[in-house]
């Protein structure tokens, strides 16, 4: 805040996914995934909270994944576990920070057309992503804007009583 000014909103959207079947999933891959997908959110929020507490205001939106709340993901147990951890982190932070005027909300998107999803090496790839559309109730992949619009709402004063 000394360098850039006050921080009012955190959008914690960093995440990685790598295919790694259990028999080749080593501790380094596990730790890297948790460092980025879960611990990264914790570290950013922890650093920002003092200023938000001092102002008695702030909003945090942290992204989990449908793979962390509703489904497992073959060859991605580390990703599913880290994203499930995001859900617990959001719940705990929401309760702890509410009395300080800081709202914490989470989102758990399904299949969104991103570079990560379209990676054949580490995710579904283009053909797999399109095939997934058949079992998505809305009949299509989500677009980044579909998620961004919800994030903007959650970060805004229109969501002032949501945590």
Question: CA 124 → CA 75, 81, 97, 103, distances in Å?
Answer: 11, 19, 37, 34
What distance in Å separates the CA atoms of residue 69 and residue 86, rounded to the nearest whole number? 10
Reported as type and span, the H/E element at residue 61 is strand 58-63
- Does residue 44 register a pLDDT over 90? yes
Handedness of CA 132, 145, 13, 154 (dihedral sign): negative
What is the distance, to the nearest Å, from the Cα of residue 61 to the centroid of all Cα atoms in its chain? 8
- Does residue 117 register a pLDDT over 90? no
- Does residue 125 register a pLDDT over 90? no
- Does residue 141 register a pLDDT over 80? yes
CB neighbours of residue 113 within 10 Å: 17
What distance in Å separates the CA atoms of residue 130 and residue 111, rounded to the nearest whole number? 10
Of 89, 6, 88, the residue nearest 49 (C-alpha)? 6
pLDDT of residue 114: 85
**Active-site residue set:** 79
Q: Which of 36-40, 65-69, 83-87, 122-126 has the lowest mean pLDDT?
A: 122-126
pLDDT tens digits, residue range 93-113? Answer: 999 999 999 999 999 998 888
Domains of the chain: 9-111+146-159 (3.40.50.720)
Question: CA 101 → CA 17, 38, 41, 106, 145, distances in Å?
Answer: 33, 23, 19, 17, 28
- pTM for the model stands at 0.92
Query: At 122, is the pLDDT very low, low, confident or very high (cuts 50, 70, 90)?
Result: confident
């Amino acid at each position: 805040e000394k360098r850039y000014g006050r921080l009012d909103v955190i959008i914690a959207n960093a995440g990685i996914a790598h295919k790694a079947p259990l028999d080749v999933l080593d501790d380094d891959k596990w730790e890297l995934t948790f460092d980025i997908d879960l611990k990264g959110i914790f570290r950013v929020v922890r650093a920002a909270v003092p200023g938000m507490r001092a102002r008695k205001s702030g909003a945090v939106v942290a992204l989990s994944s449908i793979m962390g709340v509703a489904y497992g993901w073959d060859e991605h147990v580390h990703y599913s576990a880290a994203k499930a951890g995001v859900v617990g982190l959001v719940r705990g932070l929401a309760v702890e920070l509410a009395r300080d005027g800081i709202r914490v909300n989470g989102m758990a998107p399904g299949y969104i057309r991103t570079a990560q999803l379209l990676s054949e090496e580490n995710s579904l790839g283009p053909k797999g992503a399109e095939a997934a559309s058949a079992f998505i109730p809305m009949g299509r992949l989500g677009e980044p804007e579909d998620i961004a619009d919800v994030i903007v709402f959650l970060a805004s004063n229109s969501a002032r009583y949501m945590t």
